[in-house]
Amino acid sequence: MPANYATVAISIVIPTFQRRDALLRLLRTLEQQSVSPDTFEVLVGVDGSTDGTVEMLESLHPPYRLRWVHQANAGRASACNAAIAQASGDLVVILDDDMEPTLDLLASHQRAHTGGTRRCVMGAAPIRVDDAAAPHIRYVADKFGEHLRRLERPDHDFQLRDFYSGNASVRRDELIAVGLFDVDFRTYGNEDLELAHRLLANGVPLAFSPDALARQHYEKSLGALVRDEYSKGRTAVLFATKHPDAVPGLKLTTLQSQRPRRRAARRALLWATRFSARVPGLIVGGMAVLERLVPNRLAHVYRFALEYFYMLGVEEAIAGRRHVSTAETRR
């Protein structure tokens, strides 16, 4: 912690990469929090952005303390750690750069940690959907909305795969005790679950606060969604290698226990992919066509296709291959 800075109650950590405008929206919204700006600081981990993010940060003079760390691109985990290393608050709130917090976000996260109870708290993070939203965005929003409703049930039994760190809070000393995020996770996916696994092992349970609300502005293309799912499959292998005891709780295990017909159809596509690198691009192209023709009837298509890309990532991580590139999914 820099010697020139007094401590605050809350340190907000925001990892960001090439999303200057979204980050600016988030930083402006944080000016309107119900708690005093003297009680929190904002630390941005700029992960190699070249879109003017640093220049934008230099131009701002918000009422709260704002600092940033600019590093070469090394992934979300590394960007989070770089920001957390500068934190002075007892409570760390991690926010993705596409979030739009409600006025009581920080106050609600604080309330969730009163009484000295050890916990890692997820705040609600529903995805904003407007009339112009693409069908795949509506699918992601609906699926994540179901997840949030499960978390809000009073009898919900929290499991590893419940966790997300796009709107989450935990005591700084708890993060330090488990060694922060694992920087071996350089690409998208599973860095948050891996952290949650170590927090749970260290006696820090997961919890949910519907009042700690920040809405997501999900703006990814269909190709970006596919690449994320493929990357999650690859990083699931990294996670499983590091923590074999966590494998039963991963999506990898869930997919392997599906009905035989569904597994067989997916295996057939994976087999075809070994012989033709065009298959992933053809699948994304077909999904794009269906989005135009039957935009409201694609839930099962999205689910099956994304499961295929996840398992493709798993198989190719194990085999040391890579089929899915930016060019193949640029839609």
Residue-wise pLDDT for 215-265, tens only, equals 999 999 999 999 999 999 999 999 999 999 999 999 989 998 899 999 999
Q: For all residues of the chain together, what is the average pLDDT?
A: 94
Residues of the chain with pLDDT > 70, as a percent, come to 95
186 and 230: one domain? no
CATH number of the domain enclosing 200: 3.90.550.10
pLDDT for 257 equals: 87
The reported pLDDT for the residue numbered 6 is 66
Q: Which of 54-58, 164-168, 246-250 has the lowest mean pLDDT?
A: 246-250
* Residue 3 maps to a domain: no
Residue 7, pLDDT score: 78
301 and 325 inside one domain: yes
Q: Does residue 256 lie in a domain region?
A: yes
Position 5 in a domain: no
> What is the number of other CB atoms lying within 10 angstroms of the CB of residue 201?
12
pLDDT of 39: 97
Residues 310 and 164 in one domain: no
Residues 139 and 160 reside in one and the same domain: yes
Q: Do 145 and 38 share a structural domain?
A: yes
Query: Can you give the pLDDT at residue 18?
Result: 96
Same domain, 274 and 294: yes
Quote the domain boundaries for residue 175. 10-216
Residue 1 included in any domain: no
Q: What is the pLDDT of residue 116?
A: 78
Examine the domain organization and report whether 207 and 231 are in the same domain. Answer: no
> Residues 97, 183: one domain?
yes
pLDDT score of 117: 84
Question: Are residues 149 and 72 located together in one domain of the fold?
Answer: yes
Q: Is residue 161 part of a domain?
A: yes
Q: Are residues 266 and 282 in the same domain?
A: yes
Q: Percent of the chain beyond pLDDT 90?
A: 90
Give the residue-averaged pLDDT of 88-104.
Answer: 97
What is the mean pLDDT of the segment spanning 9-23?
97
> Within this chain, do residues 150 and 286 fall inside the same structural domain, yes or no?
no
Number of domains the chain is built from: 2
Of the residues 186, 216, 246, which one is the last residue of a structural domain? Answer: 216
Structural domain contains residue 315: yes
pLDDT interval class at 3 (50, 70, 90): very low
Question: Final residue of a domain: which of 185, 216, 247?
Answer: 216
Which of 193, 216, 239 lies at the terminal end of a domain, its last residue?
216
Q: Domain for residue 290, yes or no?
A: yes
Phi, psi values for residue 320, rounded to 5°: 75, 25
Domain assignment of residue 2, yes or no: no
Within this chain, do residues 252 and 120 fall inside the same structural domain, yes or no?
Answer: no
